A and B are shown apart, each in its own frame.
Chain A
Amino acid sequence: MIELNDVSKTYRIGDEEVKALNHVDLTVEAGAFVGVTGPSGSGKSTLMHIIGCLDTADSGAYRLDGQPIEHYSENELAAIRNRKIGFIFQSFNLIARMTLEENVELPLIYQGVPSHLRKMRVEAALEQVGLADRRKHTPNSISGGQQQRAAIARAVVTEPALILADEPTGNLDSKTGENIIALFHSFNAAGKTIVLITHDDRIARETGRVIRIMDGAIDRIARPDTGTQTQVAETAGQSDPTNAAPNGDHSGAATGNGIDAGEKQPGKRSKR
């Protein structure tokens, strides 16, 4: 379970301060499938990095499975990333000179899994994403969709409880993207908690709950499955389910509009 409490993160470039996260409160229950949307530069990746223990907040508290992260050493954080979390990035982030098999094996090596068990688990993970026959290939010799599936195999090979994906379909065509998203749904069905950052409102709509980030703050939390959309204050998380918006039935569309509004300037969505 993820619990962020009044978390802020500020970057300084020269004299300029960027509030990448501005007093964020967020709770994600174990087993949830959360979609995160918002315009580029709004702080989505920063949020994911903090949730994934890749970065630490300047202020506020973060508890992962009830444990306050602030007290952990760098090595303990590495172990948490290794065992509890699987990362998936927009640019796949496979190591180019290693085969898919070796890429997927890497987190198991860092976990200290003995060699014969590693082989079995790598095989199973690649099988799961449909790349068993490509295991000797290097990332450059396969398509983007296949690379992303290999990256997913690497993320899930350690059986993490939490999967964090930062625009995993951003570099893929929509058809390939759908296959990738289907994988996330199957992982969620198997009980894994998933936080999925995406620009695609259709993909976001299919998740259990959509969080929209604006200028480093959570804008609104929508629950398309219940058909309720909850307007939240600047400090998000204090949702009031009784105060449903009038167009609650079209919560997905409303969220979509929001994304559109935010995305018009970068003009990324026009490609789809």
Chain B
Amino acid sequence: MIFQSFKMAWKSIAANKARAALTMLGIIIGVVSLVVLVSLVTSATNSVTDQIAGMGNDMLTVSVRDDKGNPLKAADLAEIAQDGNIALIAPTAQSSAAAKSGGETVNVSLEGTNGSYFQIRGDELASGRFLKAVDLENVSYVAVLSNETAIGIYGDSDATGRTLTMDGRKYLVVGVLAEDDSMMASISQAYSVYIPYTVMERLSSGTSGVSSFYASAVDSAHMDEAEAAVERALLSRFKNDGDAFYIMNQNTLAETMGDVTNTFALLLGGIAAISLLVGGIGIMNIMLVSVTERTREIGIRKAIGANRRSILFQFLIEALTICLVGCAVGIALSGLILIAINAFAADAMTIGFSGSVVAASVLFSTVIGVAFGLYPARKAAGMPPIDALRYE
């Protein structure tokens, strides 16, 4: 009986193709905007959270704003690292330099740090090694290059063992990092060169002490404890002045980003849902016209024995069929649109079909079909058979 009803519904929809197509258009547009927008936002969310996780989701970034004339020393960092929740600590200092190789000169951004830095960030090597503790102890003029830097300067990522001249000083290239295809890396265009922190200190003789450092928790579950440990140490170090330093917790960042993008998804999904709702009103409108037009048919059906329920179901299923066919077309169209977007924006990110939004759009279309089909269907079912038969 159900199958029979859908078959009948399809027949009467097919009897007026142009009208059915136009009615479906409302649903199709609603479903496409729902699926495409939410898929876009979901993919963006995923890629942003992936990026953040890729930067190490057990990482704390600490910067000192006001050292109160008593700057942090390497020994202070070693003491903070004693805490059971903290795994590694790496001081960082930034500068820039003119690097010379052959006849060309390029600007590079220098980062003075230690070997832990790479571990905290989860970097990998293309060749050579990271910085070592002995490099810092001996204040050795050695450098680790990012992959882009090596290619930019030497035209080849295998630059280990070569010499790099920066601001007139010669550095031995001891390692080259593996290619980093994260979005953050592609945003920063500068060539990065990593040198021992102690070398950096010597170069910039004016400044002393650590003004920023990275720290990693033993695992991502202990981020909050690690943050608390750093905070405690720095508070006691800087006279209980919470404004003297700033700690950024990667986990919190990821959560905040997640919240923002979720809000965004809800907002866009809501707007798309409104367009679906408008499509539903279009269906109600057309179904009301259809019921009036088919008054005589309703009379005939009642004369040969259709009861209220049969007529109600007939028109309800018709509305539902329009909705679900529109929904199916909308989902298919969304798939094509997402494929097209992926083809054009191949590198930036891949946009996946969000399965839950597809399910949501099917559910939503069903609800709309029933909700907006019910009034016309009830109107049809309630027609007295004789009035319906007399209708010209």
Partner-binding segment picked from B101-109, B148-156, B294-302: B294-302
In the complex, whether A43 has a CB less than 8 A from a CB of chain B is no
Cα of A49 to Cα of B1 in the assembled complex, Å? 29
**Chain A residues with a Cβ under 8 A of chain B:** 49, 52, 54-55, 74-75, 78-79, 81-83, 87, 89, 93-95, 97-98, 106-107, 109-112, 115, 154-155, 158
Verify A81–B296 contact, CB threshold 8 A: no
Verify B301–A97 contact, CB threshold 8 A: no
Tell me, rounded to whole Å, the shortest Cβ–Cβ distance linking B161 to chain A: 83
User: Which of chain A's residues have a CB closer than 8 A to the CB of B15?
Assistant: 97
Cα of A54 to Cα of B15 in the assembled complex, Å? 28
Verify B386–A78 contact, CB threshold 8 A: no
Verify B308–A54 contact, CB threshold 8 A: no
In the complex, whether B70 has a CB less than 8 A from a CB of chain A is no
Verify A78–B11 contact, CB threshold 8 A: no
Verify B386–A74 contact, CB threshold 8 A: no
In the complex, whether B4 has a CB less than 8 A from a CB of chain A is yes
Taking CB as reference atom, which chain A residue is nearest B309?
A: A75
Selected A-B contacts with CB under 8 Å, 20 pairs = A54-B385, A55-B385, A55-B386, A74-B307, A75-B307, A78-B306, A78-B307, A81-B302, A81-B303, A82-B305, A83-B305, A87-B304, A93-B296, A93-B300, A95-B297, A98-B11, A106-B304, A109-B4, A155-B304, A158-B305
Q: Mark B359-388, 1 if CB is under 8 A from A, else 0.
A: 000000000000000000000000011100
Cα of A74 to Cα of B310 in the assembled complex, Å? 13
Q: Which B266-312 residues have C-beta < 8 A from chain A?
A: 296-297, 300-310
User: Which of chain A's residues have a CB closer than 8 A to the CB of B302?
Assistant: 54, 78, 81
Taking CB as reference atom, which chain A residue is nearest B388?
A: A54
The main secondary structure of chain A at its interface with chain B is helix
Verify A54–B305 contact, CB threshold 8 A: no
Cα of A233 to Cα of B89 in the assembled complex, Å? 117
B305 in complex: contacting residue of A55, A89, A111, CB < 8 Å: A111
Verify B304–A82 contact, CB threshold 8 A: yes
Residues of B in contact (CB 8 Å), total: 22
User: Which of chain B's residues have a CB closer than 8 A to the CB of A107?
Assistant: 304-305
Taking CB as reference atom, which chain B residue is nearest A154?
A: B304
Taking CB as reference atom, which chain B residue is nearest A164?
A: B303
Tell me, rounded to whole Å, the shortest Cβ–Cβ distance linking A69 to chain B: 14
A74 in complex: contacting residue of B4, B12, B308, B389, CB < 8 Å: B308
Taking CB as reference atom, which chain B residue is nearest A110?
A: B305
User: Which of chain A's residues have a CB closer than 8 A to the CB of B305?
Assistant: 78-79, 81-83, 107, 110-111, 158
User: Which of chain A's residues have a CB closer than 8 A to the CB of B1?
Assistant: 109, 112
Verify B386–A110 contact, CB threshold 8 A: no
Tell me, rounded to whole Å, the shortest Cβ–Cβ distance linking A158 to chain B: 8
User: Which of chain B's residues have a CB closer than 8 A to the CB of A98?
Assistant: 11
Cα of A115 to Cα of B7 in the assembled complex, Å? 14
Q: Which 3 A-B pairs have the closest CB atoms?
A: A82-B305, A78-B307, A110-B305
Tell me, rounded to whole Å, the shortest Cβ–Cβ distance linking A47 to chain B: 12
Tell me, rounded to whole Å, the shortest Cβ–Cβ distance linking A238 to chain B: 29
Taking CB as reference atom, which chain A residue is nearest B304?
A: A107
Cα of A129 to Cα of B389 in the assembled complex, Å? 24
Contacts A75-B309, A89-B389, A97-B15 supplied; 9 other A-B pairs, CB < 8 Å: A52-B303, A78-B306, A93-B296, A93-B389, A94-B300, A95-B301, A110-B310, A154-B304, A158-B305
